[in-house]
Amino acid sequence: MELIQNTPGLTAYLARCDVIDHDHPLVRKTADSLRADAPDAYTYAEAAFTFVRDVIPHSMDAADPRVTWRASDVLAQRTGICYAKAHALAALLRAEGIPAALCYQKFDVLHGLIALKLPGERWARQDPRGNKPGVDAQFRIDREQLAFPVRPEFNEVDYPVLFAEPHPAVLQCLQEAADGPRLQQTLPTDF
């Protein structure tokens, strides 16, 4: 699948916004800590991916009722659903000058992930959702190994658009949900 930027150039995929607040002190501190053992962009990106995937539990898997949406809040509270974890990973990547986009898949509900652009490489999607039995997302540049492959026969869709900021439908559901159970009831099913 050819990935399509919804904004030309890479500047927007490095920018700060209210959600991807990569200038926040906690995001900077986390990025600095990850950078200490990562001598180049590739190893840093893999370390950031692994940190978000493995250290920050998916709130629904952990039965955590808290709803996070801003990258710094995801890092502070150490919880988030797929969208929130994607926001945290995008912020950590952008904090170190690695272009990061938000992208989505459609299953029964939308699933959020990211794409990154390492020097000399094409955009590559990564899924920091978190592994569990039956889910084995890995950091790969040569090919995708996402949490969930789509099944077109079930009307599941890989959307090729790379967003510089979260899709409004995703952000609205996160910001309006009082808790995890309410969030589960209002997850967007499409854009």
Whole-number pLDDT of residue 146? 97
Residues of the chain with pLDDT under 50: none
Which residues have a Cβ under 8 Å from the Cβ of 11 and sit 6 or more positions away?
none
Whole-number pLDDT of residue 168? 96
Helix (H, G, I), strand (E, B) or coil at 139: coil
Whole-number pLDDT of residue 105? 97
Length of the chain: 191
Whole-number pLDDT of residue 44? 98
- Comparing C-alpha atoms, which of 152, 124, 151 is closest to residue 138? 124
First to last CA, the chain: 19
Q: Where are the alpha helices (DSSP H) in 12-164?
A: 25-35, 41-55, 71-77, 82-95
Whole-number pLDDT of residue 191? 87
